[in-house]
Amino acid sequence: MLKPIHRVACSPALAACQQLMRRFALWLCAPQVSGVSITQANLRSSMGSAIEGDWLWGLLARKHNRRTLLERAECIANLSPAEKSGLQQWIQAVSALAQHFGPTPPAALPVAPPNQWRSQDEHWKAFKTLMVAFYEDGLRDGLPYAANGAPTTDVTLRVSYDQFVREFRAAHRPDPHPDAREVCVLCGGPLVQPAVDHWLAKTAFPLLAVCADNLLPICGECNVAPQKGQKAVHTGGAFSDWFHPYLRHANGAIRLRYDEATPSVRVESATPADTVKVQNLDSLLNLGQRWTREFKAEYWRLHREAQRRYRGDVQALQHRIMDYRRSLSAAEPHHEIHALLAEALLDPARLQAFAE
């Protein structure tokens, strides 16, 4: 999280869909609701507006692994009262994500499925498939909301996955020129073929599949193992030792240091209060390893140039490195790593060795 991260213009549409997911999930848990209650008419009257009800009815008609989403919804609606109560408590707890980063956070977020269900329990799988469909089908084709969160039937105004990615990339470009390089907001490296990451994995927290505070496009390297992948971004459901891209940002909290003895780039906290958070973020994304790799690659690029053009001429080499430092731009990938390298090379003893 070297770069600032903020919500984009269509975030209200994602927030509105998040509320629709919560409303629908809780409605299925209502004691008076059963499988036969799930009709288009009931959804039109219970989901906030007829537009949202009609859109949801269309979503439920879709098939996933030979079963419709309506069948998955009926599975939840036909749960026993005790199971409905357990699922309802889980939904309400997970919905309070933002409160976990406030001054008085609630109890830890439940990290296991409700009702002592296991990950392969048919009821949990039905609920998960149902919720994730809001993202995999709904967002990709278009949510029933305009960018400001207002329900709409106009398909040209409906917010989609492509629109969210496009807006996020445009809003987070260090250089707004369309031909300029893009930078990953997590690692500061090149943003090549970005993919939308669920900060809290949708496999564990399907209710947050379209949550505006849970989605951000990041580079492919950040998004896969051994980097973030499906790793947890909490400690047993508690967030006190973790950053969050929107709710508790790390920008300004990270300090980089070149450790000559290792040699490596060390990722440190700018303040003692954030030490554990920085350590967790470093471990989550393998930042120190990746930044060390870039540091060494750029070092050897400059070293080849020095050997070819400045061998034995320390003063000329010093001017070259100073020019290199001045030419660095915060709009380019790996700016912080290259700035650290420039400072390291300008050390008199290191500069002398570099010129030999």
pLDDT tens digits along 16-62: 999 999 999 999 999 999 999 999 999 999 999 999 999 999 999 99
Chain mean position to CA 328: 28
pTM: predicted TM-score of the whole model, two decimal places: 0.92
- Give the three-state DSSP class for 269: strand
- Res 37: pLDDT: 98
Which of 171, 192, 218 lies at the terminal end of a domain, its last residue?
171
Q: What is the DSSP string of 117-169?
A: --TT-HHHHHHHHHHHHIIIIIIHH--SB-TTS-B---TTTS--HHHHHHHHH
pLDDT in tens, 192-245: 889 999 999 999 999 999 999 999 999 999 998 888 988 999 999 999 999 999
Between CA 280 and CA 269 the distance in angstroms is 11
Last residue of a domain, one of 118, 151, 171: 171
Is the pLDDT assigned to residue 257 strictly greater than 80?
yes
Cis preceding linkage at 176, omega within 30: no
Mention every residue, 6+ apart, whose C-beta is less than 8 A from residue 66: none
What are the backbone dihedrals phi and psi of residue 64, each rounded to the nearest 5 degrees, phi first? -135, 115
Query: Residue 145 is part of which domain span?
Result: 11-171
Q: Residue 40 falls within a domain, yes or no? A: yes
**Helix or strand (DSSP H, E) at 310:** none
Assess whether 16 and 163 both reside in one domain. yes
Mean pLDDT score of the chain: 94
Q: Which stretch of DSSP H or E encloses residue 353?
A: helix 348-355
pLDDT score, position 189: 96
pLDDT at position 38: 98
Give me the count of residues in the chain.
356
Instruction: Give me the pLDDT at residue 230, please.
Output: 85
The model's pLDDT over 48-101, given as tens digits with 9 standing for 90+, comes to 999 999 999 999 999 988 899 999 999 999 999 999 999 999 999 999 899 998
Residues 39 and 161 grouped into a single domain = yes
**Does residue 323 belong to any structural domain of this protein?**
yes
Report yes or no: 277 and 250 within 8 Å, Cβ to Cβ: yes
User: pLDDT at residue 291 above 80?
Assistant: yes
Same domain, 23 and 136: yes
Residue 271 CA to residue 287 CA, distance in Å, equals: 18
- Residue 24 maps to a domain: yes
For the segment 136-189, what is each residue's pLDDT rounded down to a tens digit? Answer: 999 999 999 999 999 999 999 999 999 999 999 999 999 999 999 999 999 999
Q: Which amino acid is at 45?
A: S
Query: Which two tokens mark 20?
Result: 């629709």
